[in-house]
Amino acid sequence: MTASVSLREVSCVFRSADKSVQAVDRVSLEVEPGEFFTLLGPSGSGKTTCLRMIGGFTLPTSGQIAIHGADVSQHPPYARPVNTVFQDYALFPHMSVLDNVAYSLMVRGVNRATRERRAHALLETVQLPDVAQRKPVQLSGGQRQRVALARALISEPKVLLLDEPLGALDLKLREQMQSELKSLQRQLGITFIFVTHDQHEALSMSDRIGVFNKGRLEQIATPTDLYHRPATRFVAEFVGAANVLQGQDALQYGSAPTSMIRPEQIRLQLGATPASAASARAHGSVREVQFFGSFWRVSVQRSHGFSPLLVDVPVTAASQAPGLGEVVHLHWDDAAVHPIKDSATADDLLAP
């Protein structure tokens, strides 16, 4: 099957009179038809530049970009079968919602009756059938986001690009829109390429995720594999909380010089019996406790000079947070220790 979007050794260098900046460095990836693929990374990691190159807003310095097998590397945005939803939505304030949605069809010369019929149908699809005559200023943030989606979809793109479209929403609305966006993507069957710096957003919505760091891809994997089997230290620490063990600290629990353990995979014991204390993997005292609703995140200062470990302790109706300074014993299974590398290799970027 031909990939929906394919990048081959794509690089982008921004040059000015006094310096050059390597924004994207030899990125290769394939996005399958109908896939919800997320480009995840911190600010300045290259993910948005990569999306802009797919959309044609930025041209690559080198490499090839293909959409459904056709090389579009040097094509302008209007000559590509894609559309983009931006973070600020870019709706026309003087137009009604209906005219905003139908705008691209008007530009193409589609008659009013046809474009309004299709715009109404898309407003139904995004669950906004009653706002057609309103202006964008009369809508909530979530409604404007859905109008922007409808406007992008009306031209029937083969690929929809989404540049942090939920970033301006408050937390509760953002979580609601994550579910709606994923549901809409399944309903339409269109390839979505989504850019975000929010790890929870990426994990909850994506079929696969490509993690960017300093212009390069560190790993491409499913959300489950990315979280439980990160390839590199950067991925382990960026996607969720991680305890990174190095050198002798790591070797005592496995054969790799660098390993990681997720905080929820460590069991914390208070006042253990001598036998259970002897079986513990580590000992220490409580240095800090943070409350996260369903769990306490406990920082344990280990003995023998090793770095502290984070432990997630579930909150129950009868439980209490460990007290500062309390002596605790830590247990985990061998399978909880996962080896990681300092940087990515070509094998780490193979699809699982």
Read off the pLDDT of residues 244-301 as tens digits, 9 standing for 90 and up.
Answer: 999 888 888 887 899 999 999 999 988 766 766 778 899 899 999 999 999 999 999 9
CATH architecture of residue range(s) 5-235: 3-Layer(aba) Sandwich (3.40)
Query: What does the block give as tokens for 173?
Result: 């609305």
Query: pLDDT tens, 286-305?
Result: 999 999 999 999 999 997 77
CB-based contact 82:55 (threshold 8 Å):
yes
Write down the residue that tokens 């007290």 correspond to. 323
Query: pLDDT tens, 117-151?
Result: 999 998 988 888 899 999 999 998 888 888 988 89
Looking at per-residue confidence, does 143 or 46 come out higher?
46
pTM for the model stands at 0.89
Q: Where do the structural domains in the chain lie, given as residue ranges?
A: 5-235, 241-339
Strand partners, 8: 64
Q: Could you tell me which of 282, 266, 273, 286 has the C-alpha nearest to residue 329?
A: 282
pLDDT reported for residue 346? 57
Which numeric CATH code is attached to 241-339?
2.40.50.140
pLDDT interval class at 177 (50, 70, 90): confident
Write the single-letter amino acid at 298: V
Distances 233 to 79, 257, 338 between C-alpha atoms, Å: 40, 12, 11
